[in-house]
Amino acid sequence: MATNRWRSWRPCSNVGCSEVRVADRLTWAEIRQLALQHRKALILANLIAVFATLCSVPIPLLLPLLVDEVLLGDGNAALKVMDQFLPASWENAAGYIGLMLGLTLLLRLGALASNVLQARLFARLSKDVIYRLRIRLIERLKRISLGEYENLGGGTVSAHLVTDLDTLDKFIGETLSRVLVALLTLTGTAAILLWMHWQLALLILLFNPLVIFATVQLGKQVKHLKKLENDSTSRFTQALTETLEAIQEVRAGNRQGFFLGRLGLRAKEVRDYAVASQWKSDAASRSSGLLFQFGIDLFRAAAMLTVLLSDLSIGQMLAVFSYLWFMIGPVEQLLSLQYAYYAAGGALQRINELLARADEPQHPGRFDPFKGRDTVGIEVRGLSFAYREEPVLDDLNLSIAPGEKVAIVGASGGGKSTLVQLLLGLYSAQAGSIRFGGASLEEIGLETVRENVAVVLQHPALFNDTVRANLCMGRERDDEACWRALEIAQLAATIRALPQGLDSMVGRSGVRLSGGQRQRLAVARMVLAEPKVVILDEATSALDAATEYALHQALTSFLRGRTTLIIAHRLSAVKQADRVLVFDGGRIAEDGGHQQLIADGGLYAKLYGHLQH
């Protein structure tokens, strides 16, 4: 089967190609709309954030104010309030400090509980938003053209569905929830500082925007490095996935050194980009931290001068010192917002690259020629398909009657497997038409065609699941039907010998089964689907002669009355057909029965004449 040659195929732009690029883009506005579907949770989270702010903002003020009234004897406003809650015997320095300490503990516990509850609400919100986005991407994969999907590779798609969405999840669920509290905290802190000494407060509040501006500029310098790191991680994941999927063949060919070495190069690329991204981001973060720390030193000096030059008390000065440290957390959270936003923006851009991939043709499906019939015929007229500038099928014409068995043979690369892909609408031809039961693919719709046409490939795809799951492929089938299909496929005895029978795991890509067993499981899957048209593409190439003969005998009854295409190199498989089509140069070079084609002495005779007895 000539599947590998299509790995780098791109959707065609020629006349007749119906793949189209759809406008499908994810924006922050759409993410906001998804979040607003949790309006009640958002309102509750905001109210909790306000409560958390009311609990946390007064804390740095309480103990320092006692310095003036308890230690220095300057004023008694706070003491009068505390006297209402203390017995007369406790109205002393120890009692006042103890009461204030208990109050700060209660406020801290209230702030902690509020922050935890708010984080929980945001976590549930973000997980639901990411779930909806992940489902949207999965739905997008259903429509993406096969050529685009093969160019993307499984590792890249996995990175979009896991890594990139996790980055968005972290931004929505963690960063934004903390930013809300940070903004409210800074607002409350600003109000208290203005109340204590408005001139000093203005100095503090005017300096902070300069810090934020400077760090934003630093953040812009490292923003692109995160995207480079994510791209290199995607390439490593793709290479790792491909190597693991082919690990048996790689080891059998003693090529693990080469392929694992290639993985090492990808890992080195990830390391280099990650190092550059991490240390430069860290340098930017530390630089902003240095700027902020110097600002604190500046504010301390200003506060001490204010005590000398104005009515700011020692206790108020200590409160200012406390608020300077208290502001570090909220300010750093606001500063980290930009880095999280850049990372989330990069993830969003990569997700949009997936969403922007070309669709496979979408046909309305106005007519179902399979309905009410046991099988249908196939008619191909003027079919042409080219890979880049290289023709694969050239003005191909063929007709297959309903219920007829037709073998397709020819040299490798002659277009046999390409015809199968076109019949299923996996690719679009540049010219020509394909009809099932007199209706074109466009009239039928690809979903209907694929529901009624079953293909058994030389290397069938099996999932790391049970035998039953790989047989049914999501269809509802009872055990009796499964065993009947396995009997036809000559695999029932093998499955019965397994400890768990139909519930036995087949391993990744069916690694616990032999090549022949995997092919027979695919045949049983086809039987269970009860198709109207069957395509066998080198479906028995891994079977020994005796097993293949028994399988053909068992399939004879099942395939009777079903239109069947047999693509094969083995003469034993070709002989099962009523008629043979010989492909050469993308066209049908010969057409006839086995004996007739041997007698004609053409290409078919060259391929199979020496096998006659």
pLDDT digits (tens, 9 = 90+) for 235-280: 787 777 777 766 666 666 667 777 778 778 888 888 887 777 777 7
What domain range includes position 91? 25-355
**pLDDT at residue number 211:** 64
Q: Smallest Cα–Cα separation from 48: which of 106, 121, 126, 109?
A: 121
The residues near 455 (Cβ < 8 Å, ≥ 6 apart) are 420, 424, 526, 535, 537
How many percent of the chain have pLDDT more than 90? 23
Q: Quick one: 385 and 343 in the same domain?
A: no
What are the contacts of 212-215 at 24+ separation with CB within 8 A? 212/331, 212/334, 212/335, 214/287, 214/288, 214/291, 215/284, 215/285, 215/287, 215/288, 215/291, 215/335, 215/338
Which amino acid is it at 415?
A: G
Bridge partners (DSSP) of residue 400 are 378
Bridge partners (DSSP) of residue 410 are 583
**pLDDT at residue number 4:** 36
Bridge partners (DSSP) of residue 587 are 584
**pLDDT at residue number 229:** 74
Mean pLDDT on 198-205: 84
d(CA 561, CA 580): 18
Mean pLDDT on 353-368: 81
| 383 burial type by CB count under 10 A (0-12 exposed, 13-18 middle, 19+ buried) | buried
- In this predicted structure, the answer to whether residue 183 has a pLDDT above a threshold of 90 is no
77: its two tokens: 């406003």
Identify the residue whose tokens are 């499908």: 24
| 471 burial type by CB count under 10 A (0-12 exposed, 13-18 middle, 19+ buried) | buried
Q: Quick one: 204 and 349 in the same domain?
A: yes
Q: Quick one: 287 and 417 in the same domain?
A: no
Q: Quick one: 345 and 405 in the same domain?
A: no
- In this predicted structure, the answer to whether residue 217 has a pLDDT above a threshold of 70 is no
- With vertex at residue 369, the alpha carbon angle to CA 366 and CA 373, rounded to the nearest 5 degrees, is 145
3-state helix, strand, coil in the chain (%, to 5): 65, 10, 25
Q: Quick one: 182 and 42 in the same domain?
A: yes
Q: Which of 172-176, 255-259, 304-308 has the lowest mean pLDDT?
A: 255-259
- Taking only the tens place, the pLDDT of each residue in 41-77 is 889 988 998 899 899 999 888 888 888 778 777 777 7
- In this predicted structure, the answer to whether residue 531 has a pLDDT above a threshold of 70 is yes
Neighbours of 213 (CB within 10 A): 10
**pLDDT at residue number 599:** 86
Q: Quick one: 212 and 305 in the same domain?
A: yes
Helix (H, G, I), strand (E, B) or coil at 518: helix
Report yes or no on 2 lying in a domain. Answer: no
Q: Of the residues 320, 355, 390, which one is the last residue of a structural domain?
A: 355
**pLDDT at residue number 263:** 79
Q: Smallest Cα–Cα separation from 451: which of 524, 380, 368, 381?
A: 368
Report yes or no on 139 lying in a domain. Answer: yes
Q: Quick one: 345 and 382 in the same domain?
A: no
**pLDDT at residue number 150:** 66
- Give 359's DSSP letter: B
- In this predicted structure, the answer to whether residue 35 has a pLDDT above a threshold of 60 is yes
Q: Quick check: pTM over 0.75?
A: no
Report yes or no on 281 lying in a domain. Answer: yes
Helix (H, G, I), strand (E, B) or coil at 342: helix
d(CA 589, CA 568): 16
**pLDDT at residue number 410:** 85
Q: Quick one: 151 and 115 in the same domain?
A: yes
Query: How many domains are there within the chain?
Result: 2
**How would residue 521 be classed by pLDDT, with cut points 50, 70 and 90?**
very high
User: Looking at per-residue confidence, does 507 or 226 come out higher?
Assistant: 507
36 and 42 Cβ atoms separated by less than 8 Å: yes
**pLDDT at residue number 286:** 76
Report yes or no on 153 lying in a domain. Answer: yes
Q: Quick one: 257 and 301 in the same domain?
A: yes
Q: Quick one: 351 and 468 in the same domain?
A: no
Pairing of strands 405-410, 453-456: unpaired
Report yes or no on 247 lying in a domain. Answer: yes
**How would residue 299 be classed by pLDDT, with cut points 50, 70 and 90?**
confident
Q: Which of 150-159, 290-299, 455-464 has the lowest mean pLDDT?
A: 150-159
Q: Of the residues 355, 390, 408, which one is the last residue of a structural domain?
A: 355
Mean pLDDT on 118-145: 87
Report yes or no on 207 lying in a domain. Answer: yes
- In this predicted structure, the answer to whether residue 8 has a pLDDT above a threshold of 80 is no
Q: Of the residues 355, 386, 415, which one is the last residue of a structural domain?
A: 355
Identify the residue whose tokens are 């049983």: 524
Domain containing residue 440: CATH number: 3.40.50.300
338 and 216 Cβ atoms separated by less than 8 Å: yes
d(CA 295, CA 288): 11
**How would residue 607 be classed by pLDDT, with cut points 50, 70 and 90?**
confident
d(CA 371, CA 523): 23
First to last CA, the chain: 28
Mean pLDDT on 491-505: 91
Q: Quick one: 318 and 461 in the same domain?
A: no
| 400 burial type by CB count under 10 A (0-12 exposed, 13-18 middle, 19+ buried) | buried
**pLDDT at residue number 325:** 81
| Secondary structure of 243-261 as H, E, C letters | HHHCHHHHHHCCCHHHHHH
Q: Quick one: 310 and 382 in the same domain?
A: no
Report yes or no on 339 lying in a domain. Answer: yes
Domain containing residue 110: CATH number: 1.20.1560.10
Report yes or no on 328 lying in a domain. Answer: yes
| Secondary structure of 112-149 as H, E, C letters | HHHHHHHHHHHHHHHHHHHHHHHHHHHHHHHHECHHHH
